Amino acid sequence: NGFLREIALVRLISPAAAEAISALSLAFFIVLAAWLLVRWTPQRYSLKAWLGIGLLWVGLTAVLEFGVLHFLLGTPWQDLLAD
């Protein structure tokens, strides 16, 4: 996703627009993959359960990324929140 953004999109449009399009396309493909994989699960869950799993996943991802970048790599909070 990042490779395609830097090679193709940044040359055609501004870096900020390329980053937005890249983020949206990645989100679309993640949702599509999740939807296709969920169809294969034998257990049927409610929408509330799926939303809870998704929110937990987003929260854990954010904690991991911010934690690694700040506490292990020493990136200041201002830089993390600016992007």
Give 71: exposed, middle or buried? Use CB within 10 Å, 0-12, 13-18, 19+: exposed
The proportion of the chain whose per-residue pLDDT surpasses 90, expressed as a percent, equals: 13
Q: What is the rounded average pLDDT of the residues 57-77?
A: 90
**CA-based end-to-end distance of the chain:** 17
pLDDT at 20 over 90: no
Check residue 83 and give its pLDDT.
65
Check residue 6 and give its pLDDT.
81
User: Distances in Å between the alpha carbon of 77 and those of 20, 66, 80?
Assistant: 22, 9, 5
Check residue 63 and give its pLDDT.
92
Check residue 60 and give its pLDDT.
94
User: Which tokens is 20 given?
Assistant: 């937005």
Count of alpha carbons within 13 angstroms of residue 82, beta-carbon side: 5
27: nearest Cα among 1, 55, 56, 63: 1
55 — pLDDT class (breaks 50, 70, 90) = very high
